[in-house]
Structure 1
């Protein structure tokens, strides 16, 4: 029986395949993006004619949007607070509509109960 920390099916010297076994890597282009807090992000993209490089990128450090212009980074997005179901209903219905629906529902309930 092997030791408790041994990885089953592995051998000494086993590791990820190198460049020779995988083949040539695709040519890459690195694009710099800056957020409004001054963080720089440099994702890489394949250097092909049909690849579209996005205008903005999410900053992994602060979560804000980052743009390619260092002097004019995009402004942070406004976070909407969490809305409850009632808040969405109140957006769609007025107080008068709500009162009418409540009266209709109560009338139907009273009719079913025989009162």
Structure 2
């Protein structure tokens, strides 16, 4: 059985908005950006806006540039390092042995 409401799901004032209600759209410029995976992204900018040198690719997240032949290189991903790995970068094995000997002498003394 129908409820008899012909405009179900609508409310007063709801309806398609046209150019007259929103105003004129700003003139747009579409610019192509390419990432290192050869993905093309075409965001639109206002014609009087400054266009950035790089744009983030929405498909892979790599930086994209306007030169298709030479896209920006993907960022280098550093692997996770433990505290011990950072200590080993700063100190040589000889430094570590000297510090260990000093600490052991202090404990025994």
Tell me whether the two structures share a fold, i.e. TM-score over 0.5.
yes
Unaligned runs of 5+ in 1: 1-11
Within a 5 Å distance, the mapping from 1:6-17 to structure 2 comes to: 13=11
User: Deviations along 1:78-100, whole A, 9 cap, x unmatched?
Assistant: 32211211111111111111111
Residues 36 and 106 (structure 1), Cα distance of their counterparts in 2 relative to 1, 3 Å cut: same
User: Deviations along 1:36-80, whole A, 9 cap, x unmatched?
Assistant: 22211233445556x4x3322221211222110122222323322
Residues 90 and 25 (structure 1), Cα distance of their counterparts in 2 relative to 1, 3 Å cut: farther
User: SS where residue 34 of structure 2 aligns?
Assistant: strand
Residue aligning to 1:32: 32
Within a 5 Å distance, the mapping from 1:1-115 to structure 2 comes to: 13=11, 20=21, 28-48=28-48, 51=50, 53-111=51-109
TM-score between the two structures when normalised by the length of structure 1: 0.60
TM-score between the two structures when normalised by the length of structure 2: 0.63
Unaligned runs of 5+ in 2: 1-9
* Cα distance in 2 between the residues matched to 1:46 and 1:95: 59
Considering only aligned residues, what root-mean-square deviation do their CA atoms show, in Å?
Answer: 2.9
